[in-house]
Amino acid sequence: MRKTWVITVIVVLFAGFLLGGSIVAENTGTPLLSGLFGTNSDNAVENKAPVNTASAAASLPMGVADIAEKAGPAVVNVEARIKVSSGRADPFMNDPFFREFFGGSMPVLPQSRYEKGIGTGFIISADGYIITNQHVINNADQITVKLTGRKQSIPARVVGQDYELDLAVLKIDGQGYPTLPMGDSDKMRVGDWVVAIGQPYGLDHTVTTGVVSAKGRPVTIQDRNYKNLIQTDAAINPGNSGGPLLNMAGQVIAINTAVNAQAQGIGFAIPINTAKGVLQELMNGQKVVRPYMGIRMLDLDQEVCSELGLPADTQGAVIVEVISGSPAAKGGLQAMDVIQKLDGKAAASGSDVQAAVERKKVGDKLSVDLLRQGKRLTLNLTLAAKP
């Protein structure tokens, strides 16, 4: 009897071990039973559906050092040689006789010189397509890139560029280049950690960290009007332009573009989803075609409302100029008209007007509700390609 009881206990314990071990193995992903029984775990999964291990790994958070080590080889230094026309004084003007003869008027002779622009880029395809900022290569007559571990620079050519978005795609010959995966910038939240990699002042890779400080920031630098930028406190120094801003999974979520020189620790980057919208066109060497109305406008504020004789809480955008021959001119819009709705949806500011137009295509109709000298009007126009 005692022997039977002992055998029963042993059987129960062994069964419990098997069940418990199976559960542990399933929950941890460790081939515990395979190890116990000498089964080859690689062979055990041969018949399963293939898993995209690269995508799975890319979604997992990593340490900053791991991100820098993994992403570094795909980040390149971009050098652009830009021809600049300038003038120089005739060397004879150093002689007082000649200076007096010409009455102090010094002839200027044309002279060409070259400046070197330095920026950053990152490789997005194994066959050598590179994303950078358009301002890095603007008007360049020679472009080279330098890869990690290679002493010699590689000639690059521009296959597509978009001045308005400040994006450019370069191409280098060859195959098998390391690449960076693209993330989803729309999923980034204020406060999320980010990593910036670049080539400030032409130095080798530098890595800075910070957080997303804000989203949707408009910034004007000289004659470029950036919209919907990601703001970060990760240091973006001169030379970092065109480099990647990465999430903690090592995915590119933005393209470093500018640093605010008048504030400490404020940098801006173009969301990668913005780049995705035109990337294929740029890679194909096609011009990015955008619809436009053909107006210049200002947001309404209390001062503008007062000048126009409107209630202080009036919302909209006032037209300050209508470009001749534009869709707006053909549709009957005039200076001092106040746009309040587009296709029946409220437009509280100039940004709302721009966003509504950008959602359209060339040739689309657009209904505009506006105020003109206190009267409400609805005009219709057809959007054309922006020159």
Tell me the sheet residues that pair with 207. Answer: 197
Residue 327 within a domain: yes
- Quick check: 224 pLDDT over 90? no
Distance between CA atoms of residues 139 and 134, nearest Å: 9
The verdict on residue 7 lying in a domain is yes
* Same domain (yes/no): 230, 310: no
- 189 domain residue, yes or no: yes
Q: Is residue 345, in this structure, part of any structural domain at all?
A: yes
Give me the number of domains the chain comprises: 3
Question: 307 and 359 share a domain?
Answer: yes
- Do 307 and 270 share a domain, yes or no? no
Q: Are 245 and 225 in contact (CB under 8 A)?
A: no
In this structure, the answer to whether residues 267 and 201 fall within a common structural domain is yes
237 and 323 belong to one structural domain: no
Q: Tell me the DSSP string of 28-73.
A: H---HHHHHHT--HHHHTTTSPP--HHHHHHTS---HHHHHHHHGG
Cα gap 299→311, rounded to integer Å? 14
* Residue 140 covered by a domain: no
State which residues form the domain around 226. 185-274
Note whether 250 and 329 are same-domain residues.
no
- Assess whether pLDDT exceeds 60 at residue 377: yes
Count CB-CB contacts under 10 A for residue 340. 20
Is the pLDDT score of 4 beyond 60?
Answer: no
Q: Which of 166, 337, 352, 369 is catalytic?
A: 166
Closest CA to 183 of 135, 257, 122: 122
pLDDT given for residue 264 in this prediction: 65
Name the residue among 255, 273, 259 with its Cα closest to residue 221: 259
Among 55-59, 163-167, 192-196, whose mean pLDDT is lowest? 55-59
pLDDT at 50 over 60: no
Question: Do 270 and 298 sit in the same domain of this protein?
Answer: no
Residues 297, 265 share a domain = no
Q: What are phi and psi of 346, to 5 degrees?
A: -60, 140
For 61-65, 76-80, 201-205, 332-336, which range has the lowest pLDDT when averaged over its residues? 201-205
pLDDT score of 34: 34
Over residues 87-108, mean pLDDT: 50
Only one residue has tokens 């509280």, namely: 348
* Whether residue 367 sits in one domain with residue 325: yes
* Catalytic status, residue 166: yes
Q: Residue 375 domain-assigned?
A: yes
Q: Is 241 assigned a catalytic role?
A: yes
Inter-residue contact 16 to 24 (CB < 8 Å): no
pTM for the structure as a whole:
0.69
Q: Per-residue pLDDT averaged across 207-216, rounded?
A: 93
Give the active site residue among 162, 185, 213, 241. Answer: 241
Residue-wise pLDDT for 70-89, tens only, equals 999 999 999 999 877 655 54
Say which residue, 270 or 28, is predicted with more confidence: 270
Q: Domain with 296 in it: what CATH number?
A: 2.30.42.10
Instruction: Name the pLDDT band for 291 (thresholds 50, 70, 90).
Output: very high
Instruction: Classify residue 365: in a domain, yes or no.
Output: yes
In a domain, 229, yes or no: yes
Distance between CA atoms of residues 153 and 358, nearest Å: 39
Name the domain boundary from 244, 274, 304: 274
Mean residue pLDDT across the chain:
80
The mean per-residue pLDDT over the stretch 321-336 comes to 95
DSSP-derived pairing of the beta strands 317-322 and 338-342: antiparallel
Q: In this structure, what CATH number is given to the domain that contains residue 266?
A: 2.40.10.10
pLDDT of residue 30: 35
pLDDT at 387 over 50: yes
Q: What is the pLDDT of residue 260?
A: 67
User: pLDDT band at residue 150, thresholds of 50, 70 and 90?
Assistant: confident
Shared-domain flag, residues 380 and 298 = yes
